[in-house]
């Protein structure tokens, strides 16, 4: 082989060697990065895992007192919550001592009092999990399992602005009716072999009751926030009009955002950033119905935006 051919061959081999080495190093670096990502992901999963254990590792032996002490202006529960499982276990198992119609609103719910005096909101199952609601993004009933999923998404995102939510099965005949108020009891009826109720709310109708499977009804249970933290309701600055053909100002006014930023409480403090966080949260859960939101009362804009009513 001539010298020139040898030089060309050696050059080609050198280029192949360099590319191979770089490729292997990159692969090793990528593999190492992937392994670290996997470890970080597993650590995150481990931190989010909740065991519904009734044991309390706290000087306070009431799960309700523990949960009440968690609440501060910028979070409903702390990041490190060793008693979280115990509180959620209590929400799923504590005896129901009173049942009443839900608080004012558009959707069917019941207000329950659990043993120990804790208020919770019960939203009944209205749809199978794979049922698709047709129509507008805000159409249909609330989904109880959406409340559960939204609470856990709130934990994953690190917001900690949604009250605790669990799923629970209740026996309407043996657990609810014996302790129900006359107002709630008057909305019970039987459809086929199923016990149903329609409650009291803006859209509640006797013709559209929520029905159990026999007497057993699945639903979500949301922990009521402590009474020492009263709520204040605000109109969402980017809410819908809910009128066909009528646009909200933010849909046509290019200067609207600048106007909002000059208006209290969005002109200072974290509230506008909370609105942005909530927009991302609502996008992820598919909620197109946040026309109002709540914060703690008399907070001068310092309170978080509390993530309530996430079942759309």
Tell me the catalytic residues: 289
**224 marked among binding-site residues:** yes
Cα–Cα dist 73/9, whole Å: 72
Tell me the two tokens of residue 179. Answer: 């302790």
Tell me the two tokens of residue 61. Answer: 């032996």
Q: In the Cβ-directed half-sphere of 300, how many Cα atoms lie within 13 Å?
A: 0
Measured at the alpha carbon of residue 154, what is the angle toward residues 149 and 159, in degrees to the nearest 5?
175
235: three-class secondary structure by DSSP: strand
**297 marked among binding-site residues:** no
Cα–Cα dist 2/11, whole Å: 14
- Least Cα distance to 266 among 295, 288, 240, 224 occurs for 295
Cα–Cα dist 35/63, whole Å: 39
**307 marked among binding-site residues:** no
**107 marked among binding-site residues:** yes
Alpha helices in 96-143 (DSSP H): none
**309 marked among binding-site residues:** yes
Residue 184 φ then ψ, to 5°:
-75, -45
Omega before 265 within 30 of 0, i.e. cis: yes
**215 marked among binding-site residues:** no
**223 marked among binding-site residues:** yes
Binding residues: 107, 123, 142, 222-225, 294, 309
Binding residues for ATP: 107, 123, 222-225, 294, 309
Binding residues for Mn(2+): 142, 309
């Amino acid at each position: 082989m001539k010298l020139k051919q040898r030089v060309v061959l050696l050059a080609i081999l050198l280029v192949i060697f360099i590319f191979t080495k770089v490729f292997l190093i990159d692969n090793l670096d990528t593999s190492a990065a992937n392994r670290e990502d996997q470890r970080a992901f597993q650590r995150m999963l481990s931190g989010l895992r909740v065991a519904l254990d009734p044991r309390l590792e706290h000087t306070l032996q009431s799960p309700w007192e523990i949960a009440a002490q968690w609440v501060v202006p910028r979070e409903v529960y702390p990041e490190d919550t060793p008693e979280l499982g115990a509180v959620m276990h209590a929400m799923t198992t504590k005896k129901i001592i009173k049942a009443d119609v839900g608080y004012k609103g558009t959707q069917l719910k019941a207000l329950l009092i659990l043993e120990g005096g804790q208020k919770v909101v019960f939203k009944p199952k209205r749809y199978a999990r794979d049922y698709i609601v047709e129509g507008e993004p805000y159409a249909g009933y609330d989904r109880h399992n959406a409340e559960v999923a939204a609470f856990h998404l709130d934990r994953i995102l690190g917001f900690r602005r949604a009250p605790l939510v669990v799923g629970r099965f209740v026996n309407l005949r043996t657990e609810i009716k014996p302790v129900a108020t006359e107002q709630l009891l008057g909305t019970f009826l039987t459809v086929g072999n199923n016990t149903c109720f329609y409650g009291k709310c803006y859209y509640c109708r006797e013709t559209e009751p929520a029905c159990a499977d026999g007497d057993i009804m699945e639903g979500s249970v949301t922990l009521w926030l402590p009474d020492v933290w009263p709520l204040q309701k605000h109109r969402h600055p980017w809410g819908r009009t809910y009128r066909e053909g009528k646009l909200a100002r933010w849909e046509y006014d290019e200067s609207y955002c600048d106007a909002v930023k000059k208006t209290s409480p969005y002109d200072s403090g974290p509230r506008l950033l909370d609105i942005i966080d909530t927009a991302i949260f609502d996008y992820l859960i598919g909620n197109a119905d946040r026309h109002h939101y709540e914060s703690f009362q008399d907070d001068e804009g310092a309170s978080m935006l509390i993530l309530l009513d996430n079942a759309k």
